[in-house]
């Protein structure tokens, strides 16, 4: 029969001390040759004055008996610097189930065992151990940031996993920043997708075009200090993650997309310090990580070749519900030569469409006045105007039969023919033979108006009017067949 370990401490001197004890994964990595790195468990016990009195390292989650043995060892043989052997008056633990199991046993030797949610001395000791073993200042966990909750971080991790699986770096490189506004009426930020070169994967974000220019100018990193501040979410190995985040991942079930896809949000200040992004920045990243892959693929169409000019407000499903985010490419001032040509052509196209719309408005006002002078009722006049507006403002502005936007007074008979025989039946919901007949009547009145008011040459207007007279029944029969 195994000897009760408590018999070894019954005669120890008892003090009025309060100790703290916990079981945690070590804040360090064991990296055996030819094996995956891992973190063993440590049973650590700390006195009320912050001195570590006992540490035991085990490979798996320790059993209550192993924890009890570790406590006994800490009392009988405290570690170097832990003081003389002794029994404390009370031991606080942060595991309720363990307290329930060990409290009756420890009570046998006059030691109270009680639950406490936060063990401050233990936390400080673990932090000191991490600093000693890693030789650097620990990066705090995301849940230590004001206002950040486990639910919120889960949403961020889900968005990061989505971004990693979509891998937009397959289609664009880091020379193609995207302007992002979240919320859509917020200030712009400039996102750079990293990973096309096959080294560092993730998303970097800058607050101004000037900071982007500094980066693209090839300024050495040490000279960027004081000039540039940026935030990034980088993907890496599990060993690159803050221990706080790893512990919380295990506790709350935050997802990752794969072994090299652990997300690390970090901000680099102008002074070169590494700090964690705040709550609003983490929400920005959640929205951007969800939206950018769709924007790059479906709007920039970068998966099909050179990225195209694009601008869109997208809806994304965040952890706490639907939200909107606005994206634009390219960022003004960062266009490639061919993109500059596209931008100029797009601006010219927009101006052309605007001019067409203005001319159509003039023509429709003239038509309305013409209808009124002929004594048509307001309802009848409105129906004619709506029918002609469909032809002028939608069909002709979209390019008509030629693909070139033109006002209705520049329509050719081929435009009117295609509108009545094809476009109207395919594009207008609820289109019918009766609706086609009504549109023919409205277009007849419209072009008679343009001829009489001098808005269109009599020859051109007569060509259209003749088409509508001769082929009227053809268009109606065509609509009936469909």
pLDDT tens string for the chain (482 positions)? 457 888 889 999 999 999 999 999 988 888 888 888 899 999 999 999 999 999 999 999 999 999 999 999 999 999 999 999 999 999 999 999 999 999 999 999 999 999 999 999 999 998 888 888 777 778 899 999 999 999 999 999 999 999 999 999 999 999 899 999 999 999 999 999 999 988 899 999 999 999 999 888 887 777 777 788 899 999 999 999 999 999 999 999 999 999 899 999 999 988 888 899 999 999 999 999 999 999 999 999 988 888 888 999 999 999 999 999 999 999 998 877 666 666 666 777 788 889 999 999 999 999 999 999 999 999 999 999 999 999 999 999 888 888 889 999 999 999 999 999 999 888 888 789 999 999 999 999 999 999 999 999 999 999 999 999 999 999 999 888 87
Can you give the pLDDT at residue 272? Answer: 82
CB 9 within 8 A of CB 18: no
Structure tokens at 215: 């980066």
Q: How far is CA 21 from the centre of its chain?
A: 40
Residue carrying structure tokens 């490639």 = 336
R_g of the chain, CA atoms, integer Å: 37
DSSP string for residues in 409-461: GG--HHHHHHIIIIIHHHHSTT--HHHHHHHHHHHHHHHHHHHHTTSS-HHHH
Can you give the pLDDT at residue 345? Answer: 66
Tell me the C-alpha distance between 314 and 180, whole Å: 11
Can you give the pLDDT at residue 343? Answer: 65
Tell me the C-alpha distance between 330 and 50, whole Å: 56
Tell me the C-alpha distance between 165 and 258, whole Å: 9
Can you give the pLDDT at residue 1? Answer: 44
Can you give the pLDDT at residue 371? Answer: 93
Tell me the C-alpha distance between 153 and 279, whole Å: 10
DSSP string for residues in 101-166: HHHHHHHTTT-EEEE-S--HHHHHHHHHHHHHHHSSPPPPPGGGSTT--HHHHHHHHHHHHHHHHH
- Helix pair angle (472-481, 433-452), 10° resolution: 150
Half-sphere exposure of 42 (CA within 13 A, CB side): 20
Q: Classify residue 147 as exposed, middle or buried by CB count within 10 Å of its CB (0-12, 13-18, 19+).
A: exposed
Can you give the pLDDT at residue 337? Answer: 65
DSSP state of 198: S
Residue-level length of the chain: 482
Rounding to the nearest 10 degrees, give the CA dihedral for residues 229, 234, 239, 245.
80
Distances (CA, A) of 201 to 173, 209, 218: 11, 22, 19
Going from the N-terminus, what domains does the chain have, and what CATH number goes with each? 5-134 (3.30.420.10), 142-334 (no CATH), 339-481 (no CATH)
CB 280 within 8 A of CB 272: no
Residues 6+ apart with CB under 8 A from 292: 163, 168, 178, 180, 191, 193, 203, 327
Question: Beta strand pairing status for 262-268 and 321-329?
Answer: unpaired
Tell me the C-alpha distance between 476 and 79, whole Å: 98
Structure tokens at 292: 């950018």
Its pTM stands at 0.67
Tell me the C-alpha distance between 223 and 203, whole Å: 22
Tell me the C-alpha distance between 40 and 28, whole Å: 8
């Amino acid at each position: 029969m195994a000897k009760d370990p408590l018999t070894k401490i019954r005669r120890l001197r008892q003090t009025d001390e309060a100790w703290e004890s916990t079981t945690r994964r070590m804040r360090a990595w064991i990296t055996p040759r030819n094996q995956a790195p891992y973190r063993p468990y440590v049973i650590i016990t700390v006195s009320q004055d912050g001195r570590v009195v006992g540490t035991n390292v085990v490979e798996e989650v320790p059993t209550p008996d192993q924890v009890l043995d570790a406590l006994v060892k800490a009392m009988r043989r405290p570690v170097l610097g832990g003081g003389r052997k002794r029994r404390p008056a009370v031991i606080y633990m942060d595991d309720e189930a363990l307290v329930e199991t060990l409290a009756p046993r420890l009570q046998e030797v006059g030691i109270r065992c009680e639950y406490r949610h936060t063990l401050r001395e233990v936390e400080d000791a673990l932090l000191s151990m991490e600093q000693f073993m890693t030789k650097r200042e620990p990066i705090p966990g995301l849940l230590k940031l004001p206002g950040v909750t486990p639910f919120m971080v889960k949403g961020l991790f889900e968005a990061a996993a989505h971004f990693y699986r979509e891998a937009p770096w397959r289609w664009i490189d880091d020379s193609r920043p995207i302007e992002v506004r979240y919320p859509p009426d917020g200030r712009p930020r400039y996102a750079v997708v990293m990973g096309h070169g096959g080294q560092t994967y993730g998303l970097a974000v800058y607050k101004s075009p000037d900071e982007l220019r500094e980066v693209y100018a090839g300024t050495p990193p040490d000279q960027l200090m004081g000039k540039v501040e940026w935030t990034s979410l980088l993907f890496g190995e599990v060993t690159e993650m803050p221990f706080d985040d790893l512990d919380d991942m295990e506790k709350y079930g935050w997802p990752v997309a794969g072994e090299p896809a652990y997300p690390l949000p970090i901000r680099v200040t102008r002074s070169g310090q590494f700090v964690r992004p705040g709550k609003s920045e983490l929400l920005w990243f959640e929205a951007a990580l969800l939206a950018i892959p769709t924007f790059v693929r479906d709007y920039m169409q970068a998966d099909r070749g050179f990225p195209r000019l694009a601008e869109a407000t997208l809806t994304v499903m965040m952890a706490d519900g639907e939200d909107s985010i606005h994206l634009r490419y390219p960022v003004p001032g960062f266009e490639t030569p061919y993109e500059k040509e596209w931008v100029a052509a797009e601006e010219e196209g927009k101006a052309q469409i605007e001019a067409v719309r203005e001319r159509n408005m003039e023509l429709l006002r003239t038509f309305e006045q013409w209808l009124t002078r002929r004594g048509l009722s307001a309802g009848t006049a409105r129906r004619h105007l709506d029918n002609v507006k469909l032809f002028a403002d939608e069909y002709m502005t979209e390019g008509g039969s030629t693909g070139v936007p033109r006002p209705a007074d520049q329509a050719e008979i081929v435009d009117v023919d295609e509108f009545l025989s094809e476009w109207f039946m395919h594009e207008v919901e609820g289109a019918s033979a009766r609706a086609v007949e009504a549109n023919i009547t409205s277009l007849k009145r419209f072009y008679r108006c343009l001829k009489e008011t001098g808005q269109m040459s009599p020859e051109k207007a007569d060509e259209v009017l003749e088409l509508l007279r001769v082929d009227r029944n053809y268009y109606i029969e065509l609509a009936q067949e469909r």
